[in-house]
Amino acid sequence: MKTNKVENIIGSVDKLPTLPIIYTKLTNLLQSPNATAKMISDVISEDQSIAVRVLNLVNSAFYSLPQKIGNLKHAIVILGLNQIRNLVLVTSTIKMFREIKSDSSFNMQKFWEHSIGCAVAARVLAETAYLKSPDDVFTGGLLHDIGKLVHAIYLKEDFAAVIDDVRESGLPVIEVEKRIFGCDHTYTGRELAIKWNLSEGTVDMIRHHHLSDNSAELTKEISAVHIGNTLCIALGLGSGGEKKVPVAQMKAWEILDIEMNNLETIIERIDRLFNESVVILES
């Protein structure tokens, strides 16, 4: 383990901006049985740029709602607080990382397309497997590789070397990261998710999406992100730097319990939803 690089990474996680205060307030409201749509909309309205993004997204083809939603209160009633809170998390994370100047050779646009591809694929798998909250799985998929952004921004040259090495050797990114940094992006991503107080489920999806730790409990949500990552790479949706399509582990398919003859329908839905979802990047 190359301790100095690992410590650098953790140091950079500490330097990273925190999530907007409204995310914490929404999390608190989610725990309160007395929260009303008005209270929630008042909190979101404290940050007008996020309020506008959320409304744009609600009105995008991604949700295909039958009519235009004109105000936040209406959006909250239709989508529910948990989904609105996820939207705030997703839009503010993208906004925050776009504001950090990285001048890194890592292609950020392609990275976010890969993240959206994985989020969409994981969500479709979660819906097909009748999971409780496909929306939470979408968020886990969107943030699954967030550790790579920390590497790209704070360990720029080393991460560029990782990506070059992957391009030449065809090895998985996590293997080269472990060799060069002493840890991979699932570790760094977990540190960031903990710093942001994200739910345990989200932390676990980020930490275990490559199923590289055999001792960890494999949940349906982790399995959906694991397979979602493979499918979006296979379908060429964006790029997170991998040269080869990783193999989705059989145990993840077994846990999700999805019939393989559904695969064609699943892929068609992922393709369609991906095209509708890239609007998140423009919001």
Which stretches of the chain bind Fe ion, using CB under 5 A? 145, 229, 240
Instruction: Give φ, ψ of 228 to 5 degrees.
Output: -55, -40
- What minimum distance in Å lies between the beta carbon of 114 and Fe ion? 6
Are the C-beta atoms of 149 and 111 separated by less than 8 Å? Answer: yes
Residues 247 and 234: their CA atoms lie apart, in Å, by: 10
Q: Which one, 113 or 136, has the nearer CB to Fe ion?
A: 113
Tell me if 226 sits within 8 A of 252, measured CB to CB. yes
Write down the least CB distance from residue 185 to Fe ion, Å: 6
Q: For Fe ion, which is the closer residue by CB, 134 or 240?
A: 240
Task: Write down the least CB distance from residue 225 to Fe ion, Å.
Answer: 9
Select 86 or 229, whichever has its Cβ closest to Fe ion. 229
Look up residue 262 and give its DSSP letter.
G
Cβ 143 vs Cβ 202: under 8 Å: yes
Give dist(CA 226, CA 221) in Å, integer: 9
Question: Measured from the CB atom, is 72 or 176 closer to Fe ion?
Answer: 176
Q: CB of residue 80 vs Fe ion: minimum separation in angstroms?
A: 28
User: SS3 for 172?
Assistant: coil
Provide, rounded to whole angstroms, the least separation between the CB of residue 65 and Fe ion.
29
Q: Please say which residue, 22 or 203, places its beta carbon nearer to Fe ion.
A: 203
The amino acid present at 207, given as its one-letter code, is R
Give least dist CB 240 to Fe ion, A: 4
- Alpha helices per DSSP H over 80-198: 81-99, 108-128, 134-143, 146-154, 156-169, 173-181, 185-195
Comparison of 30 and 160: residue with beta carbon closer to Fe ion: 160
| CB nearer to Fe ion: pick between 110 and 220 | 110
Axis crossing angle, helix 108-128 with helix 146-154, rounded to the nearest 10: 170
Q: Closest separation between CB of residue 241 and Fe ion, Å? A: 8
d(C-alpha 155, C-alpha 149), whole Å: 10
The structure tokens listed for 143 are 């943030």
